[in-house]
């Protein structure tokens, strides 16, 4: 009986000691994901499949209600600007567009009528101006011809009088009646020529005045037209119409911002829009693996890139086959060390790791497969290129062998 009690006591003490020993023993974390160990020529890491341009969430104005939803389904491709839904305010916004368009059309019609009337007044003033100057050249030419004729007539009369004066100076008897008649013709010719000059000058000045009046009337008609046209606010009406159309297109209809594939649809007819997205989409033509490389492996990865591209093999149970990619540029390696956001399914793996994000492009042939598994957690194996053998260690041995003889 006592032996049985002693045995039970020893078993109880051993169980309690084993529990506390396992409970307080510190866990040792490793530098790489436990699913696939790293080696000198290979780095194992966890990652997720993502589009290069990221995932786009399509939102709408909060508080609006969806009245029409276009056919949408995951996997469907949409073009940039393609409509996906119409909202409850679309009818009111369409009325605003129609009213703004009607006001713009009426204003344009009134503008055209005012413009045509003003242009008609300008044409009338110009016609009146041209009519006033139509006979100017002919009338002035006729007056110039008459003035030339009277000048010749005066010259002939003066020559006749000069001959008579010479005869009288030569003591030739000249009848007084004839002499007076010639003197009278000279005086008359002078008066007629003077009157013709005055008439010519007066006619020229009257035409000059008519020209100035015609120009002033045309300029006044043009200024009146510009003043009347300025009273029509065409630019503001045009801007109001364009703003109504822009609000209809932006607030009445929801359009996708990019060309890409639908990943998930949240929207349905009758739903009131909140801060949640209506649908999620992405450009899946190019895919990457957002890989989380352990901070202790990053320097090896950077050094390996100096000797060639790093080949990446992507695997996951959900994938139909292995995917492949290449890391060629050091710019794809982040400069920030952060906490891991991808966690291993192994319960023994370290949950709090310091990692660096590395963006690895997938090959074009594998992007189509990866596009069906966006955000899938994958394991990435990075095959480092072979490093050249070190030369520094061999040189001292060669030098010592040369000095030995």
Question: Does residue 20 lie within any of the structural domains?
Answer: no
DSSP 350: -
The residue out of 246, 281, 316 marking a domain boundary is 281
214 inside domain: yes
Model's pTM, two decimal places? 0.57
Together in a domain, 72 and 185: no
Task: Output phi, psi for 55, to 5 deg.
Answer: -100, 130
CATH of residue 204: 1.10.287
Same domain for 277 and 293, yes or no, is no
- Asked if 107 and 230 sit in the same domain, the reply is yes
The pLDDT tens digits for 40-92 are: 688 999 999 999 999 999 998 898 899 999 999 999 999 999 999 998 888 88
Q: Is position 318 within any domain?
A: yes
| Domain with 76 in it | 55-82+256-281
- Helix H or strand E segment including 353: none
CA–CA dist 84, 265 (Å, integer): 11
* Same domain assignment for residues 194 and 312: no
Cβ-Cβ contacts under 8 Å for 79 (sequence gap 6 or more)? 256, 259
Judgement on whether residues 111 and 216 belong to the same structural domain of the protein: yes
Domain finish residue from 174, 207, 237: 237
What's the CA gap between 246 and 341, in Å, rounded? Answer: 41
d(CA 57, CA 280): 5
The percent of the chain in helix, strand and coil, each rounded to the nearest 5, is 50, 20, 30
Q: Which residues contact 156 (CB under 8 A, 6 or more apart)?
A: 189
Residues 109 and 219 in one domain: yes
232 vs 396: which has the higher pLDDT: 232
Q: What average pLDDT does range 14-19 have in this prediction?
A: 49
pLDDT, position 374? 93
Q: How many domains does the chain divide into?
A: 3
| Residue whose entry in the numeric block shows the structure tokens 């911002």 | 257
Asked whether residue 299 carries a pLDDT value surpassing 80, the answer given is yes
Of the ranges 7-11, 149-153, 393-397, which is most confident?
A: 149-153
Q: Is the separation of the CB atoms in 63 and 275 below 8 Å?
A: no
Identify the pLDDT of residue 112: 92
Mean local confidence (pLDDT), 368-396: 79
Q: Which among 153, 148, 143 has a CA at the least distance from the CA of 201?
A: 143
242/94 Cα distance (integer angstroms): 12
**397 located within any domain:** no
Cβ-in-10-Å burial (0-12, 13-18, 19+) of 294 comes to buried
- CA angle, 95 as apex, 84 and 250 as ends, to 5°? 35
Average model confidence (pLDDT) across the chain: 83
> What is the pLDDT, as a whole number, of residue 34?
41
pLDDT for residue 264 is more than 80? yes
Query: If you average pLDDT over residues 352-371, what whole number do you get?
Result: 89
Q: How far apart are CA 57 and CA 72, in angstroms?
A: 15
Evaluate whether 379 touches 268 at the Cβ level (below 8 Å): no
| pLDDT-derived band at 38, boundaries 50, 70, 90 | low
Task: Identify the CA nearest to 284 among candidates 82, 45, 56.
Answer: 56
pLDDT at 28: 34
The pLDDT value recorded for residue 218 is: 86
Task: Report the side by side order of strands in the sheet with 55-58.
Answer: 55-58, 279-282, 260-265, 77-78
pLDDT of residue 260: 93
Query: Strands 253-255, 279-282: parallel, antiparallel or unpaired by DSSP?
Result: unpaired
**Res 49: pLDDT:** 95
pLDDT band of 6, cuts 50, 70, 90: low
| 249 within a domain of the structure (yes/no) | no
**pLDDT for 3:** 55
The DSSP-derived string for 115-140 is HHHHHHHHHHHHHHHHHHTTTHHHHH
pLDDT category, 398, cuts 50, 70, 90? very low
Q: How far apart are CA 91 and CA 65, in angstroms?
A: 12
Same domain as 355, residue 305: yes
Asked if the structure places residue 242 within a domain, the reply is: no
Q: How many residues does the chain have?
A: 405
Tens of pLDDT, residue by residue over 335-359, are 998 887 776 555 545 556 789 999 9
Do 101 and 125 lie in one domain? The reply is yes
303 and 212, same structural domain? no
Same domain membership, residue 322 and residue 273: no
């Amino acid at each position: 009986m006592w032996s049985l009690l002693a045995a039970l006591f020893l078993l109880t003490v051993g169980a309690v000691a084993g529990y506390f020993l396992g409970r307080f023993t510190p866990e040792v974390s490793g530098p790489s994901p436990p699913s696939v160990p790293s080696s000198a020529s290979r780095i194992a890491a966890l990652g997720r499949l993502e589009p290069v341009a990221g995932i786009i969430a399509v939102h709408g104005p909060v508080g609006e209600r969806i009245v029409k939803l276009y056919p949408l389904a995951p996997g469907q491709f949409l073009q940039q600007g393609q409509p996906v839904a119409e909202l409850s305010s679309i009818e009111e916004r369409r009325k605003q567009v129609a009213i703004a368009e009607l006001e713009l059309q009426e204003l344009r019609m009134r503008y055209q009528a005012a413009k045509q009337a003003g242009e008609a007044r300008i044409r009338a003033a110009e016609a009146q101006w041209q009519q006033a100057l139509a006979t100017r050249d002919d009338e002035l030419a006729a007056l110039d011809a008459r003035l030339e004729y009277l000048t010749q007539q005066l010259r002939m009369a003066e020559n006749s009088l000069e001959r008579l004066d010479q005869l009288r100076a030569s003591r030739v008897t000249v009848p007084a009646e004839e002499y007076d008649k010639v003197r009278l013709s000279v005086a008359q010719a002078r008066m007629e020529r003077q009157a013709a000059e005055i008439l010519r000058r007066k006619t020229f000045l009257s035409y000059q005045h008519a020209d100035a009046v015609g120009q002033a009337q045309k300029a006044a008609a043009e200024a009146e037209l510009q003043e009347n046209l300025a009273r029509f606010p065409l630019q503001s009406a045009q801007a109001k119409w364009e703003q109504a159309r822009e609000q209809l297109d932006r607030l009445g209809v929801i359009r996708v911002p990019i060309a890409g594939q639908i990943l998930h649809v949240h929207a349905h007819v009758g739903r009131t829009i909140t801060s949640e997205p209506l649908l999620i989409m992405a450009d899946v033509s190019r895919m990457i693996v957002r890989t989380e490389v352990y901070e202790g492996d990053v320097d090896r990865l950077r050094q390996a890139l100096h000797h060639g591209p790093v080949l990446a093999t992507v695997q996951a149970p959900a994938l139909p086959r292995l995917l492949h990619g290449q890391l060629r540029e050091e710019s794809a390696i982040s400069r920030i060390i952060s906490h891991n956001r991808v966690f291993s399914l192994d319960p023994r793996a370290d949950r709090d790791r310091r990692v660096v994000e590395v963006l690895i492009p997938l090959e074009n042939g594998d992007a189509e497969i990866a596009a069906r598994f966006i955000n899938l957690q994958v394991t990435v194996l990075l095959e480092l290129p072979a490093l050249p053998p070190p030369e520094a260690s061999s040189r001292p041995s060669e030098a010592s062998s040369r000095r030995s003889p």
